[in-house]
Amino acid sequence: MNMKAFSELVGLSPYTLRYYEKMGLLNKVQRNTSGHRDYTNKDVDWINFVIRLKDTGMPLSNILDYAKLRALGSCTVEERQDLLEQHKENLKAHIELQLNHLKALEEKIFLYKQKKVS
Amino acid sequence: MNMKAFSELVGLSPYTLRYYEKMGLLNKVQRNTSGHRDYTNKDVDWINFVIRLKDTGMPLSNILDYAKLRALGSCTVEERQDLLEQHKENLKAHIELQLNHLKALEEKIFLYKQKKVS
DNA sequence: TTACAAGTTAGAGTTAACTCTAAGTCAACT
DNA sequence: AGTTGACTTAGAGTTAACTCTAACTTGTAA
């Protein structure tokens, strides 16, 4: 799969994909005979997981930590699991907080509806 | 209330508070005789609301739009209410998305626990 | 009254995450 | 064979949201 197809499939611009690769988030991407990138289905799965981590607020530097452990192979499975567990807890806390914010926002809107806000 | 007390109360650094004021997010802050800022309880309420909007992902530029309407007085009540309603919907969508991400993350962790991940 | 902590401003510097430019090479179609 | 669009790299530029520096003034406690 070439750059364009991969880019459209995963929803990241070619600029961003090269940037991710340069910083080490996307390793050993295959090249065809003329030096152009040739992405695989495994790359699709991996980048989608990266996007999920990013969309749940994990900074790229932390995702990179995970990626480096992954590149080291199965001896890092436990450490990676710990990172994900930790991230899961952070995410749960984030969702709780956002639910509180939502409640407060609804109360504020209620005040507007009661014309109690100038 | 002076800079230090206000800063500690709302949890934003003096740098950030001056920055917010400079960009128009915090208007007509009172000054004492020697030119130092003298924050009121109304300022506390307002900045806390600003922080809530920010923490729910609203960019400062949008918060500034709301702040400008607020500064125009009661003739903008309806428009402000619309903005908040819209933001509420965005927030609900965001929470839904995060709940999906959480589920996917838990499934991934489950795979780790089953030793199905290398 | 002498420190020293806290306040002021304008403007420069930082960080994360892109996003683009320049200068070229490669691929596909007519 | 020529045009057009996609690809390559290194490195520069952008944006949001701070964060700090310099140079100075004010407030408080010993």
- Compute the distance between CA of residue A17 and CA of residue A4 in angstroms, rounded to an integer: 11
CA atom of B3 to C1′ atom of C6, Å: 9
Residue B98 lies inside a defined structural domain of this protein: yes
DSSP 8-state class, residue A35: S
**Which positions in chain B touch A87 (Cβ < 8 Å)?**
105
Phi, psi of A70 (to 5 degrees): -60, -40
Tokens for A18, please give them: 């090269």
B117 band by pLDDT with thresholds 50, 70 and 90: confident
β-strand partners of A49 = none
- Say yes or no to pLDDT of A118 above 70: no
Segments forming the whole domain that contains residue B33: 3-113
Residue A116 has pLDDT above 80, yes or no: no
The closest CB to that of B105, out of A80, A87, A102, belongs to A87
- Domain-located, residue B86: yes
Nearest to B112 by CA among A80, A66, A45: A80
What's the CATH number where A75 sits?
Answer: 1.10.1660.10
The identity of residue B75, as a single letter, is: C
Per-residue pLDDT tens digits for B41-92 = 999 999 999 999 999 999 999 999 999 999 999 999 999 999 999 999 999 9
Kindly state whether residue A118 falls inside one of the protein's structural domains.
Answer: no
Asked if the structure places residue B41 within a domain, the reply is: yes
What is the least distance, in Å, from the CA of A53 to any CA of chain B? 8
Q: How many domains does chain B have?
A: 1
